[in-house]
Structure 1
Amino acid sequence: MSNPVETRLSEMGITLPEANAPAANYVPFVKVGDTLYVSGQISMKDGKMITGKVGADLSVDEGAAAARTCALSLLSQVKAACGGDLSKLKRVVKLTGFVNSTPEFGDQPKVINGASDFLVEALGDIGRHARSAVSAGALPFGVAVEIEGIFQIAE
């Protein structure tokens, strides 16, 4: 049986990164019934952190690209939580996005759109979600973006 999520990612030329282990005293995800809570995923590309402040070091477009990498990592954690079977993903419920930005920067929603747009493109209607996009004066390791997510999965 084919997996529509994996098929779509393949058509988009996307290979999910390995699910990262936690960097401190927490777990990468928690399942409660059919709800999956995924810990914050930081902006990384090719194993390197994407760092800097949006509005100073990075443009909105660069921030959105960083947010997209967070969405890839979120899907990697969902896949790990589902025993490697992304077909168990029923819906993206909510994202909370944190943007490392300058005090005067006000386009956090445009930055987090990098994750939201990717999830809708990759998953279709099940990728549509509620969302918060907030500024942070600093994020762990100086990363540009961190996003946590809530997902509905098959039990």
Structure 2
Amino acid sequence: MNLETIAALGYELTPSPLEVLTFHAATRVGDLVFTSGQIPVFGDVAVKGKVGADVDLPTAQKAAEICAVNCLRAALAVADAAEIERVVKLVGMVNVADGFNDTSSVINGASSFLNSAFPGQPSHARSAVGMVLPGDWAVEVELVLALKAG
């Protein structure tokens, strides 16, 4: 993970709290970290609404990026930044308005950010699905991350 690139994109990666309500923001199993779904809240930005009605595509893409940042912050609750080698899988969920079917373009916001944050690493596997999300959040993202062996 390239912290300098992430900082240049305007994000400071501080670990998020591990415990959230009745679950953890991330869990570590062997050389993998699984994050819980993360929502688009960063600083004074919070993106809610239906993509394709209340939220336009560029805003939704930025929301997906923020979710990916929050996934990395969650991972830092259970692993050091130097341990995180690459993203294995991204699951992107989009709160869609009736008729909106471009979920892949929305989640490209998260994928592009992660590809920049992990230069030289293979790109990740990915799902991008449309649904109704709790809290009316526009986007939610979860990651599986691989840690360096040893």
TM-score with structure 2 length normalisation?
Answer: 0.89
Cα pair distance change 1:74/1:55, threshold 3 Å = same
Name the SS for the 1:114 alignment partner.
Answer: helix
Of residues 126-135 and 106-115 in structure 1, the stretch that sits farther from structure 2 once superposed is 126-135
Cα pair distance change 1:119/1:17, threshold 3 Å = same
Aligned counterpart in structure 2 of residue 150 of structure 1, from 122, 137, 144: 144
Name the SS for the 2:72 alignment partner.
Answer: helix
Shift of 1:49: 2.8
Shift of 1:16: 2.4
More helix by share: 1
Cα pair distance change 1:128/1:5, threshold 3 Å = same
Shift of 1:27: 1.2
Shift of 1:28: 1.2
Q: What is the RMSD computed on CA atoms of the aligned residues?
A: 1.9
Cα pair distance change 1:17/1:106, threshold 3 Å = farther
Structure 1, residues 96-116: CA drift from partner, whole Å, max 9, x if none?
Answer: 000001121011000000000
Name the SS for the 2:55 alignment partner.
Answer: coil
1:1-155 matches, cutoff 5 A:
5-16=2-13, 18-20=15-17, 22-82=19-79, 85-126=80-121, 128-136=123-131, 138-154=132-148
Instruction: Indicate if the aligned counterparts of 1:63 and 1:145 stay in contact, CA closer than 8 A.
Output: yes
Residues in 2 aligned to 1:17 and 1:87: alpha-carbon distance in whole angstroms = 14
Name the aligned partner's letter for residue 144 of structure 1.
Answer: A
Q: Percent identity?
A: 36
Cα pair distance change 1:20/1:145, threshold 3 Å = farther
Structure 2 unaligned blocks of 5 or more: none
Shift of 1:29: 1.3
Name the SS for the 1:81 alignment partner.
Answer: coil
